[in-house]
Amino acid sequence: MVRSLQNGIESQQPVSGAPVMSHKKFITLAVAALLIVVVAWFGQVTNQEVGDIVQQQFTQQQLLLTRQAAVGIEGFLDERTALIEVLADEIADESPENMTAYFRTVYSRSKGISSIGFANSEGVIVTGYPVEDVAIGLDLYATKKNVSFDRARDTGETYTTNPMLLVQGGIGSHIGVPVYSDNEFKGVVFATIDISTLSDRYLADVIPEGHGHVYMITMIGRSLYDSAHKEMIGKKYIGSFCTNNSSYAEILSEQMQETEGTGYYFDESSGEWRIVAYTPIVWHNHIWSVATSVPAREVGALVHSVYRKQILFITIVIAIILAGGGSIVLIFSRWNRELENEVEKTTEDLKKSNTELESANTKLKELDRLKSEFVSIASHELKTPLTAIKLSMDVLRSLSGSEKDIRTKDELLEIVDRNIERQNRLVTDLLDISRIETGTLKFNLEPVDLYDIIRESVRSMRDIADRKGISIHTDPEGETLAITGDRDRLVQVFVNLIGNALKFTEKGEIRIHVQMVAGHPEIRVSDTGIGIPPEELDRIFDKFHQVDSGLTREAGGTGLGLAICRGIIEGHGGSIRAESEVGHGSAFVIVL
């Protein structure tokens, strides 16, 4: 009986229990291993995606920095070219002895110009500044350096030369402008642009020291600037710095094709891979290429923190999988969300940086557009009076001595005098705005009568107002108000404001009212003209800014008057603002 019961109990025990348990362990380990593989693969894919995003944003950021530097250099070169062209017009009727004063003024006001000189019609350099940097007495034909001189004389156009090694050191390029007086060729005024100074100004701070370097080359691969390898300046990179079949040579070849882009190359000197972004610089008939070069490890540094969290995430997930537990899904979700947020935050930061750089680039393009518009305006303002003067002189030559011709002669001489005065005002405005920007505008401060200044300004504009049928009202004639200021400069401000009011007022009146506000004189110059749109009020005091191009072209002007007014008033420690309603007139309020 006992034996039968024992046999029955033994017969109910699972004889195959050990193989079943081993099978379950195998399945568990297989599932765990599969999960580990899936997690590891997911981490690798995420790492790759993050790396690709960061790399793309980083290269775009470098390209925007490069474009920004290129726009700055192009603007500088175009501005200096326009300056030398204006200088050529100014010295057309001056003797070589008197030209030096003009050269000294331009040289002291314009950084990047290392020397200015003048070669007469025979091709002999007769004057220049600084004297030690200009080969005075050099005969260009005797020394066979007359090619550029002949081109300027024959074409009558401005020329620029390829970069070359300068006698005083560094690399430079020459700007040459033919000088004419009454259509007679007088010679060529030339200026030397110091590319080293130009590069230090616009390229030296593009990339922080220790994080990369900037270089600039010509279309034949010759170095104009290299912040990391100064010994290469003036030399060709291919053959001197890298071999013909190197990855860097391929990048340089792309740059010499006048293209814009990014790429990787292996730096043979440092033994590391680098990221390069390059864009062309266009100046007259010359094309250069500027590039930024940074170590590829810079990109790795940006994503290092993200990678570290991802590695930690994978390690924890693997540990949880091996240990087992139902919490693995919750932990996985939490960490995945954190990593996604981190990646999203990093991506948003990069996008924000990219947006800021694009905004800066847009502003630079806007500045370049305004510069081009100013050159167009200035050219028009210079050409119009010159045409009137030339036509008047041609008619004068054909007149006889009759009484009628004498009256015509007087009228023509008045036209010549008026247009000469117009040109003089333009040049004076350009010099004034230059002095204001450089902080060198001087004021002769002395006790003056504010009402007397206003009355003098009104008297000088009364004839113009009477011709237009516009009345000018001022405070009572007998009043006086003593202030400290520069009489001539303050008259210049009020004449400018009254002239603007007359220019944009078809009918009505102009009022000048003075009152004391908080112990300070406040002068309000108001009109009943066309008014200024609200969105333009904050910009009308910017140099070269004009509210309406059509009206401005019809009325004339360069957009410098209000900028000069602001500079003079602020130089007196005061302020100026504009108030306006479109169709109901404008008011300019000065507080001294």
* pLDDT, tens digit (0-9, with 9 covering 90-100), for 371-409: 666 655 665 555 566 666 766 676 666 765 565 567 777
- Report whether pLDDT(441) > 50: yes
177 within domain boundaries = no
Q: What percent of the chain has pLDDT over 70?
A: 78
- Side-chain half-sphere exposure of 165, counting CA atoms within 13 A: 7
Q: Say whether both 512 and 406 belong to one domain.
A: no
Determine the pLDDT at residue 4. 44
Burial of 446 by CB count in 10 Å (0-12 exposed, 13-18 middle, 19+ buried)?
exposed
- Which candidate, 392, 391, 387, places its Cα nearest to that of 408? 392
- Among 438, 465, 492, the domain boundary falls at 438
Distances in whole angstroms, Cα of residue 245 to Cα of each of 81, 205, 275: 39, 31, 18
Mean pLDDT of 239-267: 90
Q: Say whether both 490 and 531 belong to one domain.
A: yes
The β-bridge partners of 525 are 512, 588
- Report whether pLDDT(104) > 70: yes
- Among 438, 465, 490, the domain boundary falls at 438
- Report whether pLDDT(170) > 90: no
* pLDDT, tens digit (0-9, with 9 covering 90-100), for 28-39: 667 767 777 776
Residue 489 sits in a domain whose CATH number is 3.30.565.10
Q: Say whether both 427 and 479 belong to one domain.
A: no
Determine the pLDDT at residue 7. 47
169 within domain boundaries = no
* pLDDT, tens digit (0-9, with 9 covering 90-100), for 300-343: 666 666 666 667 777 786 777 767 655 665 665 677 678 778 88
243 within domain boundaries = no
Determine the pLDDT at residue 589. 95
Q: Say whether both 405 and 523 belong to one domain.
A: no
Report the C-alpha gap between 212 and 276 in whole angstroms.
10
Determine the pLDDT at residue 536. 85
- Report whether pLDDT(227) > 70: yes
Determine the pLDDT at residue 169. 75
Band of the pLDDT at 3, cuts 50, 70, 90? very low
Q: Say whether both 431 and 462 belong to one domain.
A: no
Q: Say whether both 424 and 500 belong to one domain.
A: no
Q: What's the number of domains the chain is made of?
A: 2
562 within domain boundaries = yes
102 within domain boundaries = no
Determine the pLDDT at residue 198. 80
* Least confident range of 417-421, 537-541, 566-570: 417-421
Q: Cα 196 vs. chain centroid, distance in angstroms?
A: 19
Determine the pLDDT at residue 390. 65
470 within domain boundaries = yes
* Least confident range of 104-108, 198-202, 429-433, 471-475: 429-433
Determine the pLDDT at residue 339. 75
Q: Say whether both 433 and 450 belong to one domain.
A: no
Band of the pLDDT at 6, cuts 50, 70, 90? very low
Average pLDDT, the chain: 82
Determine the pLDDT at residue 324. 67
495 within domain boundaries = yes
Q: Say whether both 424 and 552 belong to one domain.
A: no
C-beta separation of 310 from 39 below 8 A: no
Residue 401 sits in a domain whose CATH number is 1.10.287
Higher pLDDT, residue 110 or 33: 110
Band of the pLDDT at 188, cuts 50, 70, 90? very high
Q: At what angle do helices 561-571 and 403-438 cross, to 10 degrees?
A: 50
C-beta separation of 588 from 509 below 8 A: no
122 within domain boundaries = no
- Among 404, 419, 438, the domain boundary falls at 438
* pLDDT, tens digit (0-9, with 9 covering 90-100), for 487-498: 999 999 999 999
Determine the pLDDT at residue 34. 77
Q: Cα 349 vs. chain centroid, distance in angstroms?
A: 25
- Report whether pLDDT(439) > 50: yes
Q: Summarize the chain as % helix, strand, coil (round to 5).
A: 55, 20, 25
Boundaries of domain holding 451: 446-591
Determine the pLDDT at residue 330. 61
* Least confident range of 193-197, 253-257, 291-295, 324-328: 324-328
Report the C-alpha gap between 486 and 490 in whole angstroms.
6
- 133 CB neighbour count, 10 Å cutoff: 16
- Report whether pLDDT(552) > 60: no
Q: Say whether both 455 and 563 belong to one domain.
A: yes
C-beta separation of 462 from 471 below 8 A: no
Q: Say whether both 513 and 580 belong to one domain.
A: yes
Burial of 58 by CB count in 10 Å (0-12 exposed, 13-18 middle, 19+ buried)?
buried
- Which candidate, 258, 558, 343, 318, places its Cα nearest to that of 432? 558
* pLDDT, tens digit (0-9, with 9 covering 90-100), for 120-138: 999 999 999 999 889 899 9
- Report whether pLDDT(11) > 90: no
Q: Say whether both 498 and 559 belong to one domain.
A: yes
- Report whether pLDDT(549) > 50: no
Q: Say whether both 517 and 568 belong to one domain.
A: yes
Determine the pLDDT at residue 86. 94
Determine the pLDDT at residue 297. 83
Q: What SS3 class is residue 146?
A: coil
C-beta separation of 148 from 272 below 8 A: no
* pLDDT, tens digit (0-9, with 9 covering 90-100), for 525-542: 999 999 889 888 888 888
pTM greater than 0.85 (yes/no): no
* pLDDT, tens digit (0-9, with 9 covering 90-100), for 19-30: 544 565 567 667
* pLDDT, tens digit (0-9, with 9 covering 90-100), for 30-74: 776 777 777 677 666 666 676 677 778 888 888 999 999 999 999
Determine the pLDDT at residue 553. 44
